[in-house]
Structure 1
Amino acid sequence: MKPNRSIPASTVIPVLIYPDVREAVAWLGAAFGFVERVRIGEDHRAQLSFGDGAMIVGDVRKDRRPPRPGEVTHSVIVRVKDVRAHCEQARRHGARIVMEPADFEYGERQYTAEDLAGHQWTFSETIADVAPEEWGGTSVTPH
């Protein structure tokens, strides 16, 4: 891919909609550790980074809306170094913890949180290298 400073370098870039872009950027930084890299208008869009990943916070307009209360339309998984510490940081900033940190047979320790607009996030820490076949998954060779 050709580099372009106007878009994150990540291959996959989710766009999540928030009622107040500036509030979302501040909250996502404080609670989850995202860093703003590009601002587009005062309250239109913002590009955020986290490690080698990226996301875009978009404003509400026409058919673009955040999730409705009690509705889960998607979840974003973010890999972190220390799930327990990250969970406590998110909790201190008002994230609703949907699932407390737990260890899973596939080698990950994870927790799930809901942000200020109702988006669900799962944060994952690798605790072991486990082959998918060891827990019932199937390794598929890319085509």
Structure 2
Amino acid sequence: MRNDGLMIANRSIPSATVIPVLVYPDVRAAVAWLTEAFGFVERVRIGEDHRSQLRIGDDGAVIVTDARREQQPPQPGIVTHVIKVRVPDVNAYLERAQAHGATVLQEPTEYEYGERECTVEDLGGHRWQFTQTMRDVAPEEWGGVTVNP
């Protein structure tokens, strides 16, 4: 970080503020699948099968890494995380993911907070929630509280 509080740009890391690092047993297979099924684009490869940086949309990013020692992929029946990705068309993303073998955990559903969402599980057991904004809704309209606008 610079003295003025702004981040220094670095081409060796995605520019997103939050970057999930997801563990897969086979990095190359995960990259190929995420590219085909979800439309991610590989931006940096580290070793043949150690790590890969992917991007999606204007500012989305994820790092795919190999399983080793303390880093283990998800286990069946244990949910430790869900990655939420904003998309322009939930149906299109769901159809694409299904065509590549994603397991649908929740069909597209519209919620009172203005989002239409579906949840799928990828080849490595990670859960992804695609969300499409249907309308602008103040949190107070559905029982939330705006803490810091």
Question: Which TM-score tier does this pair reach, normalised by the shorter chain?
Answer: over 0.9
Q: Secondary structure at the match of 1:71?
A: coil
TM-score normalised by the chain length of structure 2:
0.94
Runs of 4+ in 1 over 4 A off after TM superposition: none
State the Cα distance separating 1:97 from its structure 2 match: 0.4
TM-score normalised by the chain length of structure 1:
0.98
Give the 5 Å matches for 1:1-143: 1-51=7-57, 52-141=59-148
Residue ranges of structure 2 left out of the alignment (5+ in a row): 1-6
Q: Secondary structure at the match of 1:6?
A: coil
Cα distance in 1 between the residues matched to 2:79 and 2:34: 19
Over residues 105-129 of structure 1, what are the superposed CA-to-partner deviations in whole Å (9 max), with x where a residue is unaligned? 0000000000001000100000000
Give the share of equivalent positions with the same residue, in percent: 65
State the Cα distance separating 1:86 from its structure 2 match: 0.7
Over residues 6-41 of structure 1, what are the superposed CA-to-partner deviations in whole Å (9 max), with x where a residue is unaligned? 000000000000000000000001111111000000
Cα distance in 1 between the residues matched to 2:124 and 2:15: 26
CA RMSD of aligned residues (A): 0.7
Over residues 22-79 of structure 1, what are the superposed CA-to-partner deviations in whole Å (9 max), with x where a residue is unaligned? 0000000111111100000000000000011101000011010011111110010000
